[in-house]
Chain A
Amino acid sequence: KAGVTQTPRYLIKTRGQQVTLSCSPISGHRSVSWYQQTPGQGLQFLFEYFSETQRNKGNFPGRFSGRQFSNSRSEMNVSTLELGDSALYLCASSAFVTGPETQYFGPGTRLLVL
């Protein structure tokens, strides 16, 4: 079974631009979560989508948005990029079950804002 894939793997943008990152979950997984990881802050939760609906949301400004499609693929968008948005953006998928579920992470998209 293929793992979680993220595209692109690396991205360089300038301040003020916008960016869209893509995530394809493991086949059959309906939950997709997005995280921002920076050296000093660790993993910061952005949002989670399940069946095309945002189920949870972290404490990020409105410049960060996301969506999920009917095939469970997800995109996140960051508008008006700031230098502080430079980070590794990770996507994780999980199969929705009633018990504790394991999240499977993709390799991440490394974004550099100049």
Chain B
Amino acid sequence: KNQVEQSPQSLIILEGKNCTLQCNYTVSPFSNLRWYKQDTGRGPVSLTIMTFSENTKSNGRYTATLDADTKQSSLHITASQLSDSASYICVVSARGAGNNRKLIWGLGTSLAVNP
């Protein structure tokens, strides 16, 4: 069964600190993995997309890694800011016939950055 599991479920850190969020997946056949940031009351915003051949991708203070062998991904946030308080969602795309693909969404990690 295709699944995406994220940990921790929630996290509280102090402003300026680093943190790492985890995503484990059992999705086949794998197409790509995405991380989204969702502020409260808003739609998700894409942070990174990684294909099978990519190990790491950065977007400012956000760095995502992908280990396709162990089917794990992480999102590292450096020098956190108050505006990083949000839900971070891992999404894995499963390849299908033709151009068809299916997205499997994790439940997200709720991050709170306190001053």
Contact = CB atoms under 8 A, between A and B. Distances in A.
B102 A56 contact: yes
Interface of A: 4, 41-45, 55-56, 90, 92, 96, 98-100, 102-108, 110
Interface residues of B, number: 21
A42 B100 contact: no
Contacts of A102: 34, 46, 49
A56 B43 contact: no
Interface string B29-69: 00110100000011111100101000000000000000000
B89 A43 contact: yes
Nearest to A41: B107
Q: Nearest 9 pairs between A and B by C-beta?
A: A105-B43, A100-B32, A42-B107, A43-B105, A102-B46, A100-B49, A105-B44, A90-B43, A106-B43
A11 to B, nearest CB: 15
Q: Could you tell me the dominant secondary structure of chain B's interface residues?
A: strand
Interface of B: 31-32, 34, 41-46, 49, 51, 89, 93, 99-100, 102-103, 105-108
Nearest to A33: B103
Nearest to B102: A56
Given A55-B100, A100-B49, A102-B49, A4 B43 contact: yes
Given A42-B108, A43-B105, 16 more contacts: A42-B89, A42-B105, A43-B44, A43-B89, A45-B103, A45-B105, A55-B100, A56-B102, A90-B43, A98-B99, A99-B51, A100-B32, A100-B34, A100-B93, A105-B43, A108-B42
A92 to B, nearest CB: 7
Given A42-B89, A56-B102, A102-B49, A108 B43 contact: yes
Given A55-B100, A56-B100, A102-B49, A107 B42 contact: yes
Nearest to A94: B46
Nearest to B99: A98
Contacts of B32: 100
A42 B43 contact: no
